[in-house]
């Protein structure tokens, strides 16, 4: 796909102007002062990354900012989550905007002057921490949108919920977290939005380009464990026991037929992959047990349930055929991230006006997962990708999200901030 550089010229902010609901409303832009604030927020957060459920400093920065804007602010939801409520001066709908705050246990290898040197505890060890997925940009863009919209509160139609979410990358072992816990703790109970919108920065696209997709966008993500139990015996006398290694290898092979032969892959793609195979301590001892672990990804919740059932049956029956047994545990993770088609269509004119139609592309299905999916199961949701790779670089070869070399062109911050703002302003009158 050919990518075109989007203009990053600063334009005067129109915060004091009333909103006109014409058939083609004007694009609202931010001024250089607010853009610079967004950049500075991003750099500060990038330099001080925090792991999931430990976003204490970031949450404090966000909460202080929202309070300074006069919002109703709730903190410590789902451990460190922050929610700001901005009630406009004119009646209208409620719309939610979401940004995630957590970083990753990755050592930063970029040469930016604000590179992270932070560390944190992960699985009992001290590890380097980096915003290797761009959540620092998400937070900064939403803080910028909050400031702009609060500055025109009297002219604002309806209510805006600003969700700053912890633990999108997954809560630490033994803890709950993220979008699911925010909802569990009542996020949408007192103020329930009509729609929720989110942006994720994306290294696989040129700065300022927007990837969208109606319907399924990102896969569900689930983890499974299989314990194959046999009977220990000497390697020279395999008939003296039950070999769980052979049974496990047969399970691995037979599980591959679930996607290729047992579910309708014309409806939605699916992946079942093994990532861990552990068993045995010595070359001439057949062990009692083999441990298998893997991941399931797919784009249809019905097919997801089928895979769960067939994985369990296949493992158990295959093990039984060898005289072994298999205990299967499936840990449900994130559901499929589904964009509401009507909401995408409703906000498309706004998106086109903000970034230019030539900078919008239909995104491919992504087998990565996002817990934005939990919000979109409660209310109509729209999640888009925002390109952050400089135009002089090929996005296909740019370091990916989660890479220690992950780099974001800060020109994208203006685009994301203006998208949030314009979506909110246009939503009440959008067809």
The whole-angstrom separation of Cα 334 and Cα 208 is 28
Task: Out of 35, 157, 180, 410, pick the active-site residue.
Answer: 410
Q: Report residue 1 as tokens.
A: 């796909």
The answer to whether 347 and 383 have CB atoms below 8 angstroms apart is no
**Cα 347 to Cα 16: distance, rounded to the nearest angstrom:** 23
Residue 388 CB coordination number (10 Å):
30
In 3D, which of 334, 44, 47 has the Cα closest to residue 180?
A: 334
Q: Is 410 noted as a catalytic residue in this protein?
A: yes
Contacts of residue 6, defined as CB under 8 A and 6 or more positions apart, other chains included, come to: 207, 208, 209, 355, 356, 359, 411, 415
Instruction: Pick the closest to residue 168 from 72, 301, 79, 44 (CA basis).
Output: 79
CB atoms within 10 A of CB 284: 8
Q: Taking CA 24 as the corner, what is the angle to CA 5 and CA 193, rounded to the nearest 5 degrees?
A: 90
Contact 138, 201 (CB under 8 A): yes
CB atoms within 10 A of CB 327: 14
Residue 407 bears catalytic tag: no
Which residue among 334, 361, 375, 427 is the active-site one? Answer: 334
What residues are labeled active site? 334, 410
């Amino acid at each position: 796909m050919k990518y075109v550089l989007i203009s990053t010229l600063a334009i005067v902010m129109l915060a004091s102007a009333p909103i006109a609901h014409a058939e083609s409303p004007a694009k609202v832009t931010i001024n250089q002062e607010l853009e610079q604030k967004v950049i500075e927020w991003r750099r500060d957060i990038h330099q001080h990354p925090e792991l999931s459920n430990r976003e204490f400093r970031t949450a404090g920065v966000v909460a202080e900012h929202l309070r300074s804007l006069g919002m109703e602010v709730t903190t410590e939801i789902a451990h460190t989550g922050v929610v700001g409520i901005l009630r406009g001066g004119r009646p209208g709908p409620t719309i939610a905007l979401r940004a995630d705050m957590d970083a990753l246990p990755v050592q930063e290898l970029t040469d930016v002057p604000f590179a992270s040197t932070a560390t944190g505890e992960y699985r009992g060890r001290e590890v380097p921490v980096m915003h290797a997925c761009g959540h620092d940009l998400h937070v900064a863009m939403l803080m910028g949108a909050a400031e702009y919209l609060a500055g025109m509160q009297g002219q604002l139609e309806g209510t805006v919920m600003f969700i700053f979410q912890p633990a999108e990358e997954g809560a630490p072992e033994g803890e709950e977290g993220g979008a699911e816990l925010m909802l569990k703790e009542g996020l949408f109970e007192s103020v329930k939005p009509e729609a929720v919108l989110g942006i994720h920065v994306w290294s696989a696209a040129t700065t300022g380009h927007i990837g969208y997709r109606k319907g399924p966008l990102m896969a569900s993500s689930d983890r499974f464990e299989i314990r194959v139990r046999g009977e220990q015996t000497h390697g020279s006398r395999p008939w003296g026991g039950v070999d769980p290694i052979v049974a496990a290898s047969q399970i691995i092979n037979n599980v591959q037929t679930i996607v290729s032969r047992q579910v309708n892959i014309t409806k939605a793609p699916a992946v079942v992959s093994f990532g861990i195979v552990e068993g045995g301590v010595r070359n001439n001892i057949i062990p009692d047990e083999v441990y298998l672990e893997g991941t399931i990804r797919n784009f249809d919740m019905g097919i997801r349930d089928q895979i769960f059932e067939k994985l369990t049956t296949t493992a158990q029956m295959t093990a039984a055929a060898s005289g072994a047994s298999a205990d299967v545990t499936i840990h449900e993770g994130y559901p499929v991230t589904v964009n509401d088609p009507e909401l995408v269509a409703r906000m498309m004119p706004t998106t086109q006006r903000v970034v230019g139609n030539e900078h919008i592309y239909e995104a491919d299905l992504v087998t990565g997962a996002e817990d934005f999916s939990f919000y979109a199961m409660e209310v109509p949701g729209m999640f888009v990708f925002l390109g952050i790779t400089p135009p002089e670089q090929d996005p296909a070869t740019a370091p990916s999200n989660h890479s220690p070399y992950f780099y974001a062109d800060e020109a994208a911050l203006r685009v994301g901030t203006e998208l949030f703002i314009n979506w909110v302003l246009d939503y009440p009158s959008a067809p």
